[in-house]
Structure 1
Amino acid sequence: MRALPLSLLLGIAPLPLQTALADDTARVYNVPRGELAASLIRFASQAGVSLSVAPALVNGRQSAGLVGEYSVEGGFAQLLAGSGLRLQAVGQDAYTLVAAPQGADVLEITPTTVTGAAQGNVAGESYAGGQVARRSSQGLLGARDFMDTPFSMTTYTSETAKNQQARTLGDLVASDPAVRTTNPAGGRFEQFTIRGFSLFNSDVSYNGLYGILPTYSIDMEMAERVDILRGPSQLINGISPRGSVGGGINVVPKRATDAPINEFTASYASDSQAGGAVDVGRRFGEDNRFGIRLNAVKQAGDTTWDEQSVDRQMAVLGLDFRGERLRLSADVGHTERDTDAPQERVQVGANARVPGANHVRDNYAQGWSKARTEDTFGAFNGEYDLSDSVMVYGSIGARESNHDFLRHNVSVTNDAGDFDVLPRDFTRDESVRTATVGVRNWFQTGPVSHEVNLAASHFYMDFTNGGARYARGRSNLYAPTATPTPANPTRQDPEVYTENRFDGVALSDTLGFFDDRLLLTLGARWQRVKVDDWSDGVRGDTGYDEEKLSPSAGVLYKLTDELSVYANYLEGLSQGKIAPSTSINEDEIFPPFISRQVEVGAKYDLGSLAITAAAFRIKQPAYETNALTRTFGPNGKRENNGVELSVFGEPLPGVRLLGGVMYIDSELTGTSAGAFDGNRAPATPELNVNLGAEWDVPALPGLTLTGRGIYSSSQYLDQANSKEIDSWERFDVGARYAFKVQGKAVTLRANVENVLDKRYWASAGASDDSEPGLTLATPRTYLVSATVGF
């Protein structure tokens, strides 16, 4: 009888030198009791091996499951105990099952042992090279290997963040060609684009929950993994708070591993930022069921820009329990970030040319400007196996935030670089409550496998904006002039209070045909968006209450164990845009809109190197701030047609690659009177290129040299395509050295970002024109750190 492949060759990545301190032949598994075939599928998928078996050998058989730390063959031995079957190796990381000879010991396989050396989250198993994880969290659809996913995704590991010395999310995404940062690194907040569409920090999810993470900046010390999904993600996680449509970012919290974690990292960044971070984790109790992980950081000092300093601190505590059927986790965190003289985007007036970035040598932010943010957040997650094939799950989360800014816009009015300094005191208080519950069921109908998911979600956020305006001053972009510290307000802004309520119910089914070589995912999410606002206690007239059913579909076919091809259609309802502070209709709320994506792609896994390619089309309404009236509102539609190519892995021993290319043709249609039809959408470069490489020096074990190049082509500032910034490139270099001192692991790191100290405009602003303006690149920056085990 024909043998059936029960899982793909997933591959186990070698650990980087500085983390490969324990035997990686054993790891933690949790496979519930049930049908033998289902148990073998789960174990083989988690273990990263290929298993083939004739159906007649396993039909009707049961397995007691397993919980604990096992080698691959030791785990199979446990699952096959008493079955009369024996494991037989047929290649590297490839096995089959055969009937044991009568009277033979069915556990007679390669000798293995169960040890306490396993580390890491099974769902986040690293790919070759350790920079990218094989599996990612996909909300409603659960955790899946990238080769089994009909979407374009990349999951960056904590080791990548650590080795790049990434302090915030903006530092980490510099490795991804589909993502660009659209706000100055020394600014009040971070903001991004994915596939040319804006993504706000508030749309970054935390273990699948929106709105939990800090609104303005996310510290990377808290992240075990960062999942980047390209394309509308409403089916997976529901409506995001700010309606991002180009993709989604999910931060996965850290968990205690079976090996104790004791690390301290001392860091320094130019000009004089010094800090320290601790990472401590323990597991205890029977079978190490209970875990606790603490990550904390404090960093303060001056940046490369004069007058500017940043003081950031963070503490996140993660708790978890892993039982035979019940799995629980809780995370609670607090972050504070104080920035003096934060930079703003540079707006360009109708009568001014684009300023020369190379001539901007000093910080144009006033010394009295400031940004103070404080966020406290928490989340609780649980899973319970009702049976061997049914699991229920749920998550709840909350956040309280207080933000206080004293800022001014930078709007250049002439070619000389002059701008008015209009001080504004701005406060914002936010409160978020969110929850999701669901059930997942695995079953067979004849030759077709099913994974059915049903989930309901609720999101609530209210926020209050207030502040005051002060007397104007005058400064210059190229020769900044200090203005008096604001003292007496000339005008009080109205207090604006807004409530957002998003509710949704989603249903999906992933059907497997031909022994799961063909996977068809069909789903839909009913979404309701309700927004209300008040100004000085008077209810506004721009609130709304709308709902829609959004279908989605994805299909993936495994041509071989190494090659998958896929296609998807994703549709979602997004919250309407809010007029920015730079417009005269500030805080006006616009109705929700629908975004749609069609994508086809392929993924090739060579075991040591993965290559993914995708072609996509995304449509959504276009918005603009009118250059003459300064009124913000919709104007036509924008369509982004693009192709992506990504690469990651370790193609040669000691040589690692990470990066890719993205090309986008972004076109405006249906604009007012057809004035801008056929033009390119603002802030959307045609070409992005990122390529990073690492080389372990053979002559000196433990030494790794790194390099990275980043390129973006030119961008327009406006729908009229009348103003344009030049293309730019940035080069980073670095080195790290891993060694041991008295049995303790030590890693020294040194990186130089923008090593050529090039001055350029990195972005033309938000792609939806909600916050137009130029983002000035950060000058050459030195980063050094030392991580010591204790």
Structure 2
Amino acid sequence: MPALPRQRPHSRTRLASSFSGPTLCLNLLFGLGALPAPVAFAENQQRTYNVPSSELAAALTGFASQAGVSLSVDPGLVNGRRSPGLNGSYSVEGGFARLLAGSGLQLQPVGQGAYTVVAASPSVGVVEIAPTEITGTHTAFANAEGEAYAGGQVARRGSQGLLGSRDFMETPFSMTTYTGEVAKNQQARTLGDLLASDPAVRSTNPAGGRYEQFTIRGFSLFNSDVAYNGLYGILPTYSIDMEMADRVDVLRGPSQLINGISPRGSVGGGINVVPKRATDQPITEFTGSYASNSQVGGAVDIGRRFGEGNQFGIRFNGVKQAGDTEWDHQSVDREMAVLGLDFRGERVRLSTDLGHTERDTDAPQERVQVGANAKVPDAKDVRDNYAQRWSKARTRDTFGTVNGEFDVNDSVMVYGGIGARKSNHDFLRHGVSITNDAGDFSVQPRDFTRDENVRTATAGVRNGFQTGPVSHEVNLAASYFYMDFTNGGARYAAAPSNLYDPTATPTPSNPTRQDAKVYTESRYTGVALADTLGFFDDRLLFTLGGRWQRVKVDDWTDGVKGDTAYDEEKVSPSAGVLYRWTEQLSLYANYMEGLSQGKTAPSTSVNEDEIFAPFISRQVEAGAKYDFGRLAVTAAVFRIKQPAYETNTTTRVFGPNGKRVNDGVELSVFGEPYKGFRLLGGVMYIDSELRSTVGGTYDGNRAPATPKFNVNLGGEWDVPGLPGFTLTGRSVYSSSQYLDQANSKEIDSWKRFDAGARYAFKVDGKAVTVRANVENVMNKRYWASAGASDDSEPGLTLSTPRTYLLSATVGF
């Protein structure tokens, strides 16, 4: 759904819906019923609140509900006013003061646990409190949905498609929302750079390659499965620039209920990129950047709001960066321009985003495939770029979306979004498949073009109501996704080379073979219905739902319709439960099913481009989340099942072979436990097992490309005595992985250390931040990934050499 802030309707009582006289009294003393561990708070005790930006009446009511106090308000004082909401730690009176800031109104106590709102005046008895600073909030996040948790690296609320926006403590899933601030401070240029902080996510393609690809909980996720404001297929197919993102939601586990079926059928999780919006404070920033070897660039970020009540907003982000990387004869030239417009009225919220990106890479690296008669090569001996100088990747993507929400009344909201993308991709590449222990491989040049067109839409209605003591939030949504693409190209004469001592080969000129022209159309339609039932004043939440999905794929080869097309449909049920044991502790469990598009045989197989039928994935998960106020810890145990695929090493035929079961445990931590010291990271353990393989040959083996342990831990320290100066560090570890289902080839475990510093200061009233980061400080060479066990083209991913990053941001 569109990622525009709005409180769950059933979680509060609307002032406007109950006006029956000149003064409205709202008695909002919430009892906790028969549930254990009731929590009571003194009026001057600070606790954590979440109240989204909304009408002032609704914001006051929502805060009073959470605080457990009574509030009496004259409707004439609040009608037509809005509040920016709040998120953070407050006393009762401090929280009310924050909500009323700038309204000309003040809070007045009228008894124990009871208040009224009056016009501001210096009269005795009126509480005049300066608004308390929101814990961990940064000026880049103007709405409640984007407000950051303590430390500013993770947002409290994330977009959850069909279910709307929710606080992480009210979410029956494992989810982390990374802020634009952490992306900026890490100098993340692409999505892969940002996700290096997540223990559940690993990059499975070289950083200097043609495209980015990931695994979540051990299963593949392609860029085409990354949503943009809730819409799939809109973002660039091969690489996503982070300068366009206000934040990034990472949801772990099958997400078909809340987001629908993704284009490539990811099952380990989902990622949603939320675009930037103009804030109430004007934004004018320029960032100059440098990345070794000689990449130099600049980025602008401009945002303004105007009109009555700042109803209209405009935000523009532009990037230009070019130069050589740390790999010899490799260069990257990237450009990005994204314009965001939005309107926020009393009942209507609208937004549109238009973007264009271009990326040119010379000598992009490929994964290294290991032949049946070759051992796993030693990464420490790979010193030079094994990609030919003439190889290249050229990508052009133009995209746009329109999103909207309309409050029909105080309980019902309708929403919708549409989007489109047109892309043109041109590659001149070659595979790297070593055939012996010496590292020899054949350079087989291939000219490959791909043109894509995407159209997608979603629409829904959300209704909150009560049935006796039970609250409901019913969501009904429909989705549609269409993509067509054309693949074509040519092959050229082969020449020998070596992984350890690459040989320059001639630039391809005369094709020896023209590839067939393959045209494919994919259509996904779906309808989802879910109800979140709240018991005991919403301390216990049940979410029950299902999504009907239809997957229709047709293909043509040189104008002849293929015989592997399909048209399948299925209803996938899902359920989640969350119990707020205390204000600090939430317990949850979920069951998720998803229908995914079938795999397509890769170019390295003899049945290239064969399309397989859709498959079903299932997940069971249970977990706990504890919010210490300035530090949050989440834990989860899970099981995910899906079919396993492989390319037979003897016949070179690609197809399904049994199933894989991933049993895992996750632990994550984020926040600022001590003033000036921030943590971000976690650990994931996965026991990945193959079952029901053909003839039982591989039963009990570990699924390939799945390390048992992933560990990420990052820290930031504001140096005492040096205001504005911060030291940063991050360590990343993955245990050993198998390359094949037979478990005969294995890569070693690896670890990487990053370090950095930044200094924020002012010059002539202008804010300046200088950042310096070093990735892979020890310059270790290792195989970072063996691909992904459910991937059609497994292979080894070489680590990125030591890279220096410098940037300076100036705010005007």
CA distance in 2, matches of 1:716, 1:595: 23
Aligned partner of 1:4 among 11, 15, 30: 30
1:93: which partner in 2?
none
Q: Sort the Cα spacing of 1:254 and 1:107 in 2 relative to 1 into closer, same or farther, 3 A.
A: farther
2:92: which partner in 1?
none
Contact 2:246 2:275 in 1 (8 A): yes
1:51: which partner in 2?
67
2:637: which partner in 1?
615
Aligned residue identity for 1:566: Y
2:536: which partner in 1?
514
1:439: which partner in 2?
461
1:258-295 superposed Cα distances (whole Å, 9 cap, x missing partner):
10001000000000000000000000000000000000
1:632-685 superposed Cα distances (whole Å, 9 cap, x missing partner):
100000000000000000001100000000000000000000000000011000
Q: Sort the Cα spacing of 1:2 and 1:296 in 2 relative to 1 into closer, same or farther, 3 A.
A: closer
2:527: which partner in 1?
505
- CA shift, 1:760, in A, is 0.1
Gaps spanning 5+ residues in structure 1: where? 11-24, 91-95
Q: Sort the Cα spacing of 1:504 and 1:557 in 2 relative to 1 into closer, same or farther, 3 A.
A: same
1:12-67 superposed Cα distances (whole Å, 9 cap, x missing partner):
xxxxxxxxxxxxx999822386xxxx65454579xxxx411369x89x99974742
Q: Sort the Cα spacing of 1:443 and 1:334 in 2 relative to 1 into closer, same or farther, 3 A.
A: same
1:102-132 superposed Cα distances (whole Å, 9 cap, x missing partner):
xx99993334589998952321110000000
CA distance in 2, matches of 1:134, 1:114: 18
1:149-207 superposed Cα distances (whole Å, 9 cap, x missing partner):
00000000000000000000000000000000000000000000000000001000000
Q: Sort the Cα spacing of 1:212 and 1:769 in 2 relative to 1 into closer, same or farther, 3 A.
A: closer
Contact 1:395 1:435 in 2 (8 A): yes
* 1:397 matches 2:419: yes
Aligned partner of 2:737 among 715, 718, 724: 715
> SS at 2:257's partner residue?
helix
1:504-535 superposed Cα distances (whole Å, 9 cap, x missing partner):
00011111100110011111100000000000
* 1:649 matches 2:671: yes
* 1:698 matches 2:724: no
Contact 2:469 2:536 in 1 (8 A): yes
Q: Sort the Cα spacing of 1:97 and 1:151 in 2 relative to 1 into closer, same or farther, 3 A.
A: farther
Contact 1:27 1:117 in 2 (8 A): no
Aligned residue identity for 2:158: S
CA distance in 2, matches of 1:500, 1:44: 49
CA distance in 2, matches of 1:689, 1:78: 43
1:67: which partner in 2?
82
1:53-84 superposed Cα distances (whole Å, 9 cap, x missing partner):
369x89x99974742547842465699999x9
Contact 1:346 1:411 in 2 (8 A): yes
* 1:203 matches 2:218: no
* 1:231 matches 2:246: no
CA distance in 2, matches of 1:400, 1:114: 47
- Where in structure 2 are the equivalents of 1:483-494 lying within 5 Å? 483-494=505-516
CA distance in 2, matches of 1:326, 1:639: 45
1:759: which partner in 2?
781
- Where in structure 2 are the equivalents of 1:366-385 lying within 5 Å? 366-385=388-407
What TM-score, normalized to structure 1? Answer: 0.92
Contact 1:69 1:114 in 2 (8 A): no
2:384: which partner in 1?
362
* 1:110 matches 2:133: no
Instruction: Count residues with an aligned counterpart.
Output: 758
CA distance in 2, matches of 1:452, 1:537: 46
Contact 1:648 1:656 in 2 (8 A): yes
Contact 1:85 1:97 in 2 (8 A): no
Q: Sort the Cα spacing of 1:254 and 1:54 in 2 relative to 1 into closer, same or farther, 3 A.
A: same
- Where in structure 2 are the equivalents of 1:212-611 lying within 5 Å? 212-611=234-633
Contact 1:464 1:495 in 2 (8 A): yes
Contact 1:605 1:611 in 2 (8 A): yes
Aligned residue identity for 2:202: R
Contact 2:478 2:528 in 1 (8 A): yes
CA distance in 2, matches of 1:146, 1:204: 20
Gaps spanning 5+ residues in structure 2: where? 1-26, 33-37, 42-48, 87-94
Identity, in percent, stands at 75
- CA shift, 1:585, in A, is 1.2
Aligned residue identity for 1:73: F
Contact 2:427 2:448 in 1 (8 A): yes
- C-alpha RMSD of matched pairs (Å): 2.9
Q: Sort the Cα spacing of 1:8 and 1:759 in 2 relative to 1 into closer, same or farther, 3 A.
A: farther
> SS at 2:386's partner residue?
coil
Q: Sort the Cα spacing of 1:713 and 1:258 in 2 relative to 1 into closer, same or farther, 3 A.
A: same
1:417-472 superposed Cα distances (whole Å, 9 cap, x missing partner):
00001000000000000000000111111111111110000000000000000000
Contact 1:339 1:371 in 2 (8 A): yes
CA distance in 1, matches of 2:53, 2:575: 31
> SS at 2:482's partner residue?
strand
CA distance in 1, matches of 2:508, 2:141: 54
> SS at 2:266's partner residue?
coil
2:195: which partner in 1?
173
CA distance in 2, matches of 1:26, 1:670: 48
- Where in structure 2 are the equivalents of 1:732-747 lying within 5 Å? 732-747=754-769
What TM-score, normalized to structure 2? Answer: 0.89
Q: Sort the Cα spacing of 1:292 and 1:583 in 2 relative to 1 into closer, same or farther, 3 A.
A: same
> SS at 2:741's partner residue?
coil
> SS at 1:140's partner residue?
helix
CA distance in 1, matches of 2:247, 2:239: 17
Contact 1:371 1:405 in 2 (8 A): yes
